[in-house]
Amino acid sequence: MKRIPILMDCDPGHDDAIAIILALSSEKLNVLGITTACGNQTIEKTTKNAQGICEFLGRRDIPIAKGRNAPLLTPVYTAGIAHGESGLDGPKLPEPVAPLQEESAVVFMAKKIESADEPVTLVPTGPLTNIATLILCYPHLIPKIGQIVLMGGSIVSGCSGRGASEFNIMVDPYAADIVFTSGVPIVMMGLDVTNYTTIGFDEKEKFRAAGRVGTLVADLADFFGRGFEMVGWCGVPVHDACTVAYLIDPSLFTMKEMNVRIDLTGEFTMGSTVGDYCGAEGREANALVGISSDRERFVELLLNACASYGKGDKEDE
């Protein structure tokens, strides 16, 4: 089976960590590297978290490059209230051993895309700062980007803690505007689908039974799910892993083509993704947007991914 070459750009983050776990388990994906963004926590913390997840999985072979330390034009805004002081509060991860790449995330991505024999899929699950910078600095590489499968935005609602926009887009709306107007094919997995693609609170023990990686996923869900449980949700949304699940099995999701624009002027809606759901404005579609998911099959996919690492009995060092 020919594997899809992907570059993951993330800001771990509990759901980013689960996305990495899912991606590195799949025989359908070839993870060329991981780059980090400033989002759920500062760039130093998200970078250490990406390294820690790969160390836990025994994947020191995955190159990791540190991204930009702030959005393009707006101040740093993090989500410590959801992800904790470290960005991955809850489970204890091992200290990273493998060094970071010497070049920046953008230069690293450019080199990987340039040297690839086929178009590379970008999978950003945080603010789009690095991706926008790549597009601006290396426009000649745009034809070699097969698609951008991102977690971000929402057609019907927001959840940033600051206005009506979704967090990833709100943190760097100018970067999002560059990406959505780049001409690169975009798959948008926004809150319309990710809020309902959950691990049920009653399903976490199934993950613990799947071994040490499943236990890590359950522990991540324990911490990240606290707020959702308090407000009456039935499970923990696994936002970022929807991007990877889509690449592994698109049939898990119902998708709709539409034109999506980024609001850059609203006092309360800055960073909102404005989707022309019915095509009433006659604008050409620029995104394939997730509308719904088969939650049970998603959970099964994730459980199988955890089990594929082997149950093992060795505790984290």
Three-state SS string over 42-90 comes to: CHHHHHHHHHHHHHHCCCCCCCEECCCCCCCCCCCCCCHHHHCCCCCCC
The pair phi, psi for residue 211, each rounded to 5°, is 110, -170
**Catalytic entry in 14, 83, 140, 239:** 239
Sequence-ordered strand ranges (E) for the chain: 4-10, 29-36, 64-65, 120-124, 145-151, 186-189, 198-200, 235-237, 253-258, 260-262, 273-275, 287-293
SS3 237: strand
Q: Quick check: is 239 catalytic?
A: yes
Query: Judging by beta carbons within 10 Å of its beta carbon (0-12, 13-18, 19+), is residue 107 exposed, middle or buried?
Result: middle
Which residue carries 């010497």 as its tokens? 102
What's the Cα-to-Cα distance from 264 to each of 68, 186, 273, 274, rounded to whole Å? 21, 19, 10, 11
| Distance, CA of 121 to CA of 136 (rounded, Å) | 17
Sequence-ordered strand ranges (E) for 190-248: 198-200, 235-237
- From 172, 170, 194, 224, select the one nearest 293 (Cα to Cα): 194
Do 60 and 98 meet the contact criterion of CB atoms below 8 Å apart? yes
Pairing of strands 260-262, 273-275: antiparallel
Do 245 and 300 meet the contact criterion of CB atoms below 8 Å apart? no
Catalytic residue positions? 239
